[in-house]
Chain A
Amino acid sequence: KNQVEQSPQSLIILEGKNCTLQCNYTVSPFSNLRWYKQDTGRGPVSLTIMTFSENTKSNGRYTATLDADTKQSSLHITASQLSDSASYICVARQTGANNLFFGTGTRLTVIP
Chain B
Amino acid sequence: NAGVMQNPRHLVRRRGQEARLRCSPMKGHSHVYWYRQLPEEGLKFMVYLQKENIIDESGMPKERFSAEFPKEGPSILRIQQVVRGDSAAYFCASSPSGRGSNQETQYFGPGTRLLVL
A residues sitting closer than 8 Å to B (CB atoms) are 4, 31-32, 41-46, 49, 51, 89, 93, 95-100, 102-105
Measured between alpha carbons, how far is A97 from B55 in the docked complex, in Å? 11
- Cα A41 to Cα B89 with chains together (Å): 9
Q: Are B102 and A31 in contact (CB under 8 A)?
A: yes
Judge whether A98 and B99 touch: CB under 8 Å: yes
Give me 29 A-to-B residue pairs in the complex whose CB atoms sit less than 8 angstroms apart, sorted by A's number: A32-B103, A41-B110, A41-B111, A42-B110, A42-B111, A43-B91, A43-B93, A43-B109, A44-B91, A45-B108, A49-B103, A51-B103, A89-B42, A89-B43, A95-B102, A97-B99, A98-B31, A98-B33, A98-B48, A98-B98, A98-B99, A99-B56, A99-B59, A100-B45, A100-B106, A102-B35, A102-B42, A102-B44, A104-B42
CB-based nearest A residue for B92: A43
In the complex formed, the residue of A with least CB distance to B48 is A98
Contact with A along B23-51 (1 / 0, CB 8 A): 00000000101010000111111001000
A48–B41 alpha-carbon span in the complex (Å) = 22
- Shortest CB-to-CB span from A4 to chain B, Å, is 7
Closest to A43 in B: B108
